[in-house]
Amino acid sequence: METYADLLTTIAPSTGETRTIFDPATGEAVGEAPVHGVADLERAITAATAAQPAWAALGHEGRSAALLRAADAVEHSAEELAQLLSREQGKPLNGPNARFEVGACAAWLRTAAVTELTDETVVDDGATHATLHYRPIGVVGAIGPWNWPMMISVWQLAPALRMGNAVVLKPSEYTPLSVQALIHVLNSELPEGVLSVVCGGREVGARLAEHPEIGKIMFTGSTATGQAIIKSSAGTVKRLTLELGGNDAGIVLPDADPKAIAEDLFWGAFINTGQTCAALKRLYVHEDIYDEVCNELAAVAAAMPMGHGLDEANVLGPLQNKAQYDIVSRLVEAAKESGARVLMGGDPDTGQPGYFYPTTLVADIDNDNPLVAQEQFGPALPIIRYSTVDEAVAMANGLDVGLGASVWSADLDAARSVAARIQAGTVWINKHGAVDPRIPFGGAKQSGYGLEFGVEGLKACGVPQVING
């Protein structure tokens, strides 16, 4: 495969209904995606059920070797995958974007392959001998999002495959082409039927969640959809890993150096143009350094070019779809109408093609403003002033979500003390959103439950079995 067009050709539907996918930066057609239905899903599940026992029988060593070969295949097609991803999702090639995402796919595959998971002797006292093992679940259903379509698909499928399961994956209707291409590449190194992709709508997702042959659902997306999956899966008592919506808080303590932290603050908030579940979405800054942090952050933001993803100079792209553009626009308008101070942005050029919303910083905003209280999932960051750490912690904990959070300080002990008080699945110190395939990741409150990554992520894709005797 020499170009992304060649890659598109390999996944182009030959028969059946199709849907045109458009570039969110230009409005131009990218390619045709199949429109699968429940019958297609049933065929994929039947194939997965048939293929899974032989895959499980390979053992950890055989499955790990296959995943390592799959990682090599991703790297071999990395540029073609990144080009397609940029056209379909909108994210630029450079910065922590399309090429970064494809590289993360290979990294997560490799980590899932080499992470050790050994049987554990839990009691051996002479009278009792008990060991804990993890067996394959069977067939795992994965439902992915549109913001990091390739990377999050790998977050789901890599540990599930490593643990001896087959996987049926349903990508977002917004970004089916990049996920199809990724699965095509992975399947060059995997047995037939073990991994499949079904590009359907809500009815396909609902059937996947309720299907009696699916033993686990892994889902990344909104809290509302997660709640629907919980209800659909209840009849078959499925295992669930749910990474749901977040509205991550960052707290800047008064001893922080505004200039030193400004760039990391920026990328914590604006990675993937703000379209990241665990991005920094509301920033609490102590009054002593509030103006300085605002100024330094604005200086960094002003230097970050936004535009078409295939332009090598750009590091920020469009919002992926019109619905998300409208959400960001509505929330920023509400902030402006409330009298909040717009430091930069907030006034999109509606004459240009694509769903571009300018990098926007909003200061002097109330904590109950919709831009603060609702997840914007885009390039608009509210900056809230606080007087005491207790006040900041209370505001950070004041919502019903808790995916990630961060604390910024020159004093690590002080930062860790504050971090321990925050209700979130991960709290980073002097960084935000820095996920690592070795470190468990999951949400608190209505940001979901279950852990991904590392040993805990592998365990979550298996059935624990104790042998006592």
Is 139 in contact with 165 (CB distance < 8 Å)?
A: yes
The single residue of 277, 294, 375, 461 carrying the catalytic annotation is 277
CA distance 30 to 433: 30
Element spanning 104, H or E: helix 98-114
Residue 453 · residue 438 · CB < 8 Å: yes
Q: Is 294 a catalytic residue?
A: no
Q: Which residues contact 361 (CB under 8 A, 6 or more apart)?
A: 294, 297, 298, 301, 342, 343, 344, 345, 380, 381, 383
Query: Residue 95: left (phi > 0), alpha (psi -120 to 50), or beta?
Result: left
Q: Let me know: does 166 contact 55? Beta carbons within 8 Å.
A: yes
Per DSSP, which regions of 360-460 are E strands?
360-363, 380-386, 401-402, 404-408, 426-429, 444-445, 448-449
DSSP codes of every residue in 71-101: HHHHHHTHHHHHHHHHHHH---SSSSSHHHH
Per DSSP (E only), the strands in 273-403 are 280-286, 341-344, 360-363, 380-386, 401-402
- 461 noted as active-site residue: no
**Catalytic pick among 243, 296, 375, 452:** 243
Query: Rounded to whole angstroms, how far apart are CA atoms 22 and 354?
Result: 10
Active-site amino acid positions: 243, 277
